């Protein structure tokens, strides 16, 4: 396959100066390795850029969604619709930058939404892994490296047998540890109040023997949880 003509690094918000600056650093690093990337902030800018190019790879960061109060399904749906709108005879693919290892559920969701592949973020992974991803995706090849998939632990068994969460608590546990959602976004997703979410989160932390969300996420990734007393 021939190389895609353009990589567009997309930021959903035009107001996030810190994110644009961070993306700019990534762009400059990859230009030094012969990979040309443009930055597009906001949906109108992205649409104009897609209309002006023949073939493109649209890239966005998974960790930028929460700060913009967006769900990954929402972004993928909008990108897919936008791609169909401007596609005509052009080729437009989507790739996602992941900041850390992800679980199988997220990988399945991305593939189901026609994402071409994932790019290991340079903050956590080796820079060569990021460069390799861009090169593969530029050629129009799918890229799902094993390095981005978190090791499988006995998380479900631990939660059910030792921690004994309720069904609602288990649902919130998954939204925190797998998707990194804030209390506000969890409340929106489950159609409950933020106050109710806070109560569940406090109960989950007590039962898991952790003091904060970071410890909760870490415990879910390592399978290390205290049994509730």
What is the pLDDT at residue 88?
A: 67
Please check the confidence at residue 77 and state whether its pLDDT lies above 50. Answer: yes
pLDDT tens per residue across span 186-223 = 999 898 999 999 999 998 888 887 888 877 877 676 55
- Is residue 226 very low, low, confident or very high in pLDDT (cuts 50, 70, 90)? very low
What is the pLDDT at residue 1?
A: 40
> Please, are residues 164 and 228 in contact by the beta-carbon 8 Å criterion?
yes
> Please, are residues 86 and 46 in contact by the beta-carbon 8 Å criterion?
no
Q: In what order do the strands lie in the sheet with 37-41?
A: 37-41, 6-11, 56-61, 92-98, 117-120
> Please, are residues 143 and 117 in contact by the beta-carbon 8 Å criterion?
yes
Please check the confidence at residue 229 and state whether its pLDDT lies above 50. Answer: no
By CB atoms closer than 10 A (0-12, 13-18, 19+), residue 78 is: middle
Share of the chain above pLDDT 70, in %: 82
DSSP 2: P
What is the dihedral angle through the alpha carbons of 85, 87, 91, 96, rounded to the nearest 10 degrees? -20
CA 80 to chain centre: 16
Interacting residues of 150 by C-beta distance below 8 A, sequence separation 6+:
101, 102, 103, 221
| Distance in angstroms (rounded) separating the CA atoms of residues 152 and 56 | 34
Sorted by where each starts, the structural domains of the chain and their CATH numbers stand as 6-148 (3.40.50.10140), 155-222 (1.10.10.10)
H or E element that contains 42: none
Residue 19 CB neighbours (<10 A): 18
| Distance in angstroms (rounded) separating the CA atoms of residues 207 and 229 | 8
Token pair 């437009």: residue: 92
């Amino acid at each position: 396959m021939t190389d895609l003509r353009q990589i567009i690094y997309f930021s959903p918000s035009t107001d996030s100066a810190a994110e644009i600056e961070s993306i700019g650093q990534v762009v400059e690093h990859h230009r030094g390795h012969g990979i040309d990337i443009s930055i597009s902030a906001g949906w109108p800018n992205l649409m104009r850029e897609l209309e002006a190019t023949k073939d493109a790879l649209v890239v966005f960061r998974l960790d930028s969604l929460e700060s913009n109060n967006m769900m990954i399904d929402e972004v993928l749906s909008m990108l897919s619709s936008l791609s169909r709108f401007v596609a005509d005879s052009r080729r437009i693919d989507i790739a996602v930058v992941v900041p850390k290892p992800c679980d199988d559920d997220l990988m399945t969701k991305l593939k189901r939404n026609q994402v071409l592949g994932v790019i290991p973020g340079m903050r956590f992974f080796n820079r060569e892994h990021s460069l390799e991803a861009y090169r593969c995706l530029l050629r129009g090849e799918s890229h799902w490296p094993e390095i981005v998939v978190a090791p499988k632990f006995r998380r479900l068994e631990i939660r059910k047998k030792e921690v004994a969460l309720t069904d609602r608590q288990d649902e919130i546990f998954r939204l925190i540890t797998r998707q990194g959602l804030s209390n506000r976004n969890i409340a929106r997703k489950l159609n409950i109040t933020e106050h109710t979410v806070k109560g569940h989160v406090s109960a989950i932390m007590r039962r898991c023997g952790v003091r904060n969300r970071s410890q909760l996420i870490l415990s879910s990734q390592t399978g290390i949880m205290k049994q509730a007393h």
